[in-house]
Structure 1
C-alpha cells in the first residue's frame, strides 16, 4: 500500500499496486481481445473463400461475356449486366502486380500535380491548426477539468502524428489559445469561429482528393453545395476529436494491460510495446480510411479503402521516422531565425501531405485494377482530362 496525494481534489487516495480486481479484469480483457481477433480472422477467411468462389463462377462466364460484348446485346441483357457489374480480381496481390501499381501511382502522382496540392494543404494547415487545438482544448478541458491537464493530453495525442521537432510550434499555439477568454457570448462565438476555421484544411483536402480521383460536384448547385461541403468538413473535425478521445481511452486500458503482462510473463515489456505500436498503427489506418471513404465526392468500396489506408499508414510511419531524422538536425529551419519552428511545421505538413496524396493515388489505382472502381456521387460528375493541341494560326 502507498499513498498518493491529488492536489486537484484535496484528498488522499490509497492506491494499491496490484489489486485483486486488476488481476481478474486484465486476463479477461486479454482473452476478450484474442477472441475478437480470432472472430475477425474467421469472418475475413469466410469472406475471402466466398470471393474466390464468385470469381470462379465469373471466370466460367468469360467466353459468354466476351461473345455478348462483341455482338452488341441490348441493355436489358443479363449477360451484359454481368459484364458491367462483375467485380475485379480478388485474392492475394503478387509482388509483380504491386510493383506495377506503385509505378503507375508514382506516374499519376506527378501528373496530378500533388506537390502543388500538398503546398496548398500546408498553407491551410497554418490557419486551421490554432482553431483545431482550441476545440481539442475545450473538449479535453470538459473531460479532465483544468487547462494544464487538458493541454498536456492534447499535446500527447498530437505527438503521435507530428514529429517532436515540429511540435514546438504546436506547443506555442496551445499556450496562446489556452488562455481563458471572459464572457459567455465571446466563448460561444470563439467556438463557432474555431469550428469554421478548423474545417478549412479538410475542405482543401476534399478538393485535393476530388482532383486525384477525377470527380467534382455538379455545377449550378448554389448554396447547397457549399453547406454540404462545410458539413463534411465539420463532420471530419468532429471525427478527429472523437478518434482522439477513443485513442486516449484505449491507451489507458493498454497501459494497464502492459503492466499486467510485465508481471505475469517473461518479455512482457516487449509484448506490451508491440501492442502499443500496433494500436498506434491501427488508429492511423482508421483515420486515413475515414478520410478516403467520406471526404471526397465519390463512392468507393470499403475493401479498396482499407488497402489504400493501410499502405498510406505504413508509408506515414516510415516517413515520420525519416522526416524526424532530417528535421531534428535543425538544418531545415536554422536559416529562418525566429520563424524556424513555423518553417519546420510547414515542412512537416507538406511532406506528410505528399504521403497522404500518394496513398490516395494508390487507392484509385488499386480500385481501378483490382477493386470496384471509384464512381462519383449522385450530386457529382466525373472529370475527363483531355489534352488538345490547337492548330497554329
Structure 2
C-alpha cells in the first residue's frame, strides 16, 4: 500500500514555495512513500533528441530513440523494464519528458494509477515553476541559445495543444538559432485560431519583426477582428514600423464543431490536406500579398473556405521544410513531405511524434546544417 497522499502533500508544498530545481530533493524524500528506491525527472531537450535529468539530480542522459524511457516519451504510455518504470510527463498534451521510478516490483492497478497521478502533478509543477528559475532551461539546452532564438521561444505557446478531439502541434528548427519563423494558436469557444509566420531575414532584426507580427496577431484576435481585418492590422503595423520588410503567413480559423476551415495565405506556401490515406489538391495560394506589402494592391485579402471531414489532418509549413536540400542539391519538396506524413498516419503515429520525426528528417536531409528556419504545424480534427 503506497502512502501516495503524503507524497502528494510534499509535492504540493512546491506550488506555493519552491522552484523547479527543488523537485529532485522532494522526490527523493517522497520515494519511500511510493515504494521506490529512486525517482528521477528526465526532460526532453529542445531538439527532442534525448532525455536529461533535471538539474539537481545525478542520473544519466537517455537517448530517445531505442530506449524504454524514449518509448514512454514518444508513445505517452508507461514502460517497464528490469525494475524501472517510466511514465510520460504531460502538461495537457505537451510532452515534457518522463518520470523514472526504480522499483522492486511492477505496480499494478491502484498503485500504478497513483504513480500516474504523481507524474501528472510533477508535470504541472515543472510547467508552473519553470518561470521562477532557470533549472528547466539549463536542463533542456544542449547548446548555447542565440539571442534571436531566445526572443522567439519566449513568445511561443506550448508546442502541443488538444481540446475536444482537435489537436495542433508544431516544431521549429534550428531550435537554438531560429529567428524568423513563429507560430501561434488559441482556442476560443468552438473556434481554433492558428497562424504560421515566416519573416524575411534572420537574426535579431528578423526576431524583432517576428515579435511585432506575433503580438499584433494576438492583439487583433483578442480584439475580435475578422481574418481579413487581422491581416490588415498586421500589414499596417509592419509597414509602419519596418518599411520595406514583409512576412509571409497563413492565418486560419477552424470551427471545431462543424469542421469549417477558413484561411488567408499571405504569400505563403499552401498547407497539405490529408484525408483517408491521400493528399488532397492544394487550396488556392497565395490569396493575399505578404504582410507589410498589402498596400501595393487595392483589393482586400481573400479568404478560402474548406469543409473538413472527421479525421482530416492539415500540415502548415514554412519554405524551410520543402526547400531543404541534400548534398546533391535536391529539394525535399512537397511530394516527399506528403509521403512522409501519410506514412506516419498509416503507422498510427501521434501528431506530436510525427512532427518530432519530421523535423529530425529535415535536419538529417540537410546533413545537420539547416540553410533556413524550418517550421511546421499539424492540425488534426475530429468532431466533438
Pair in the same fold by TM > 0.5: no
Larger radius of gyration: 1
TM-score norm. by structure 2 comes to: 0.24
TM-score norm. by structure 1 comes to: 0.24
| Greater fraction of residues in strand | 2
The structure whose RCO (Cα within 8 Å, separation 6+) is larger is: 1
